[in-house]
Amino acid sequence: MAKGDIVKNVVTYVVGQIVDDPSQVQVSIIEQGPDEVLAEVRTGPGDMGRVIGRRGRTARSIRTVAQAAADEEGITASVEFED
């Protein structure tokens, strides 16, 4: 299993449950260092607002869940939402 696979799977699942068109969700894992990954999230047009949520609450929750998944792998994770 590659580094960040658990994070990618969890983030893809959670974001896919929020958006209108789950087939448009793309999550890319980029290694930032020996024990750190970055998950870049892209969605279809119009879905990014749903993913970020009011005052960024949903985005913050997704970041928390991603870090919990990263803890399973013994790494740290950050999440960026790309338009």
Q: 34-75: per-residue pLDDT in tens?
A: 999 999 999 999 999 999 999 999 999 999 999 999 999 999
Q: Note the pTM of the prediction, 2 decimals.
A: 0.94
Confidence of residue 2 (pLDDT cuts 50, 70, 90): confident
Q: In whole angstroms, give the CA distance from residue 19 to residue 48.
A: 8
Confidence of residue 11 (pLDDT cuts 50, 70, 90): very high
Give residues with Cβ within 8 angstroms of 24, minimum separation 6: 42, 43, 44, 47
Domain annotation for the chain: domains and CATH numbers: 5-82 (3.30.300.20)
Give mean pLDDT, residues 12-24: 96
Specify the pLDDT at position 9.
Answer: 97
